[in-house]
Chain A
Amino acid sequence: MNMKNSLLITRRQRTNLLINLGLILVTLFAMLPIATTVLVSFKKEQDVTRKPPVIFPCDTPTQAFDWSACRWSVEGYDRVLAPEPASNWLGFELTGNMIRTYIPNTLLYATTTSFLVVILAGLSGYAFSRYRFRGHRFLMISILAITGVPLLTNLLALYQMGVRLRKANIPLYDDRFFIIIVYMGFFLPLSVWIAKGFFDAIPRELEEAALIDGCSPLGALWRVTMPLAAPGLMAVFLLTFVGVWNEFIAGYLLISRNDHKNVMFGLYDFLGQNIVNLQVLAAACILIALPMVILFLFTRRTFFKAMVEGAIKG
């Protein structure tokens, strides 16, 4: 690396400038759609439906742009969140379905699914990484091949399965269990491959040492390998979490009760037969995407690792 740098040193400044310029351009390209959405979400309806559109709602009859005349508004957010005065410590509560129902539901689906996926993928990833058995290769390939089945028609069979389960009157059964199991089925295949990759990278010698010290195989797995694999499993958790949060079509077709809706289906409330409140739609988009963006900002290294691992192995 040092050598490379010294070779380039003569042209370094010029190159650096160019690279920076390029990166700024690219970053602008990446940010532009998000920025316009944020902009729209803070406008009033009368400014959203103007022809021709104005970029900033800051024009006056006499001037094209005047900071003091800007008509920013939180109309859109107000619709989505529906704050109402209340007697709690905040002085208000958010009564929008998005906050009251859809986000809690999605958190439930995403957390439970990711947790179960981590456990199952961790166990089978470990088995695939540490043991050679008959059918090893066949199973690994089959698990991968499963991802090739288009989801859309599977949903018909899954829908019917959900209907039958509901009819079977299993004690304590809830539609939400089914949704979670379905999501597990969607995200397991890739997770198994990723988990196996992470286990492969942990030296087996450590486990052997633990075995010699008198641990059982499961004990060795639990006490030695799992802690080492934790970052990898965390990556699986996060990928699944974001995957479930962002999933639309399965939730849209399988969830049959309003109080079970997830956020992406909930977005549909603002996309009904009268989708023109662009500022509301933009506000809803921002509110739904924001938690994931924040999560990403705090855990980006784990994500990067998982993405590369997932792509190469899967």
Chain B
Amino acid sequence: MRQLLSRYKGGGQTQTSLPFWLILPTIIVLLAIQVYPALYTAWLSLQEREPTGWTFVGVENYKRLFGTSLFSESIGHTIVFLVGYTSVTLALGFIIALLLNGNVRLSGFYITLLFIPWIIADILVGLIFRLMVVPDYGLLSGILQNPKIIPPNGLSVLTAVRPTPWFGNFAFPPAPAMDFLILASAWRALPFVTLLLLAAMQTVPSEIIESSRIDGANGRQVIRHIMIPLMLPTMVVALFSLTLSGMNGVGMIFSLTGGGPGTSTEVLSYMLYSIGWDRLQFGRAAALALMIAVVNWLLISGTLRVTRLEDRNP
């Protein structure tokens, strides 16, 4: 790989303008559909709509955003959601990958079934999970709402209030609806993470495992001291990628909880949706969008750094 690339560097510069023409169509589409709207958003974030037209208001939109309690609350929800979502998905994904790595018969069959959730649209996943816990009528509600199973009154996932927070106003422990949202999101993301981890697991050289076994390491030690360190870059990539999708996804919240009950599943991306498209406060929505974009860029640059690290390692 490296050799190839270095060979290129020599010859590449003298090449024709061909690469330019090859890339041009892509660049044009991206400029129109992604770059221009992003710049427009930046401009919009400094404007406010008045009956007469757009008026420049400077950083007023940002100030108002910071001034509402819903904003800080949403940050709390977003953190809880992301931590829950990524940790549940990574942990379960790792376990499933381990199981699949055991080379059982029928593993192809399992993989196929396990991967179906990934192909289902997030808005459908939200609906499917909602159907299960619709108060009084959902099949799961029949079990959860039974006082004998969950005393004292049973649990209605979509309407149960959040427990009293442990630390000031920070939304922890989360409301049952948030736990359920995390579960639904993890359900959909698990195949992706499992596959990624499985692929990484299969690149762990069996000689290393074997020799450590001979040295007397047990299964847990092999996982802890050999597999996890070797798979760490992949795990970090998975972590970033999950965070990125969790940070921006809105379809599942849209169809599962609608931000409720109360505000307990209102995360930043959903807040962005409701400010922009429910309240029609486009300027303020744009300001929020830019803040989310900054977080996204940090995550992306983190991923880049890790993947380059990985390129160098082997």
Whether chain A touches chain B in the assembled complex (some CB pair under 8 Å): yes
Q: Interface residues, chain A, CB within 8 Å of chain B?
A: 1, 3-5, 7, 15-16, 19-20, 22-23, 26-27, 29-31, 33-34, 36-37, 39-40, 48-55, 120-121, 123-124, 126-128, 130-133, 139, 141, 143-158, 161, 181-182, 184-186, 188-189, 192, 200, 203-204, 217-218, 242, 245-249, 253, 264, 267, 271, 278, 281-282, 285, 288-289, 292-293, 295-297, 300, 303-304, 307-308, 311-314
How many chain-B residues does the 8 Å CB contact rule pick out?
110
With known contacts A188-B29, A248-B251, A36–B140 Cβ distance under 8 A: yes
Can you give 14 contacting A-B residue pairs, CB < 8 Å? A22-B95, A37-B128, A52-B142, A133-B15, A147-B244, A149-B38, A152-B285, A152-B289, A156-B41, A158-B37, A161-B32, A181-B33, A246-B120, A249-B254
B115 touches which of A143, A245, A300 (Cβ 8 Å): A300
B residues in contact with A130, CB < 8 Å: 8, 19
- Residue of A30, A139, A146 with highest tally of chain B CB at under 10 A: A30
Q: Is the CB of B300 within 8 A of A144?
A: yes
* A205 to B, closest residue via Cβ: B4
B104 touches which of A20, A144, A289 (Cβ 8 Å): A20
- Residue of A50, A148, A192 with highest tally of chain B CB at under 10 A: A148
**CA separation between A300 and B116, bound complex, in Å?**
10
**CA separation between A228 and B65, bound complex, in Å?**
52
- Mark interface residues in B229-247 (1 if CB within 8 Å of A CB, else 0): 0000010011001001000
Q: Is the CB of B300 within 8 A of A30?
A: no
B residues in contact with A314, CB < 8 Å: 303
A152 touches which of B92, B190, B206, B273 (Cβ 8 Å): B273
A148 touches which of B107, B141, B300 (Cβ 8 Å): B300
Q: Is the CB of A131 within 8 A of B15?
A: yes
Q: Is the CB of B210 within 8 A of A131?
A: no
- Mark interface residues in B40-61 (1 if CB within 8 Å of A CB, else 0): 1100100000000000000000
Q: Is the CB of A27 within 8 A of B134?
A: no
Q: Does B153 reach chain A (CB closer than 8 Å)?
A: no
Q: Is the CB of B12 within 8 A of A288?
A: no
With known contacts A153-B289, A156-B276, A26–B99 Cβ distance under 8 A: yes
B residues in contact with A55, CB < 8 Å: 139, 142
B residues in contact with A19, CB < 8 Å: 99, 102, 104
Q: Is the CB of A278 within 8 A of B114?
A: no
B23 touches which of A139, A282, A293 (Cβ 8 Å): A139
Interface of A is mostly: helix
* B199 to A, closest residue via Cβ: A308
B residues in contact with A204, CB < 8 Å: 4, 7
**Among B70-78, B155-163, B168-176, B291-299, the stretch in contact with A:** B291-299
* A38 to B, closest residue via Cβ: B128
Q: Is the CB of B100 within 8 A of A23?
A: yes
Q: Is the CB of A289 within 8 A of B120?
A: yes
* B9 to A, closest residue via Cβ: A132
Kindly provide the distance from the CB of B202 to the nearest chain A CB, expressed in whole angstroms.
10
B residues in contact with A26, CB < 8 Å: 92, 96, 99, 110, 114
**CA separation between A144 and B299, bound complex, in Å?**
11
Q: Does B117 reach chain A (CB closer than 8 Å)?
A: yes
A33 touches which of B33, B128, B293 (Cβ 8 Å): B128
Residues of B258-283 contacting chain A, CB below 8 A: 269, 272-273, 276-277, 282
**CA separation between A132 and B8, bound complex, in Å?**
7
Q: Is the CB of B292 within 8 A of A150?
A: yes
B residues in contact with A217, CB < 8 Å: 16, 18
**CA separation between A60 and B311, bound complex, in Å?**
64
B residues in contact with A161, CB < 8 Å: 32, 36-37
Nearest 4 A-B pairs (CB), nearest first? A185-B33, A148-B296, A132-B12, A246-B121
A residues in contact with B18, CB < 8 Å: 127, 131, 217-218
- Mark interface residues in B88-110 (1 if CB within 8 Å of A CB, else 0): 00001001100110111011001
**CA separation between A1 and B120, bound complex, in Å?**
35
Q: Is the CB of B127 within 8 A of A281?
A: yes
A residues in contact with B255, CB < 8 Å: 271
* A28 to B, closest residue via Cβ: B113
Q: Is the CB of A36 within 8 A of B33?
A: no
Q: Does B13 reach chain A (CB closer than 8 Å)?
A: yes
Q: Does B129 reach chain A (CB closer than 8 Å)?
A: yes
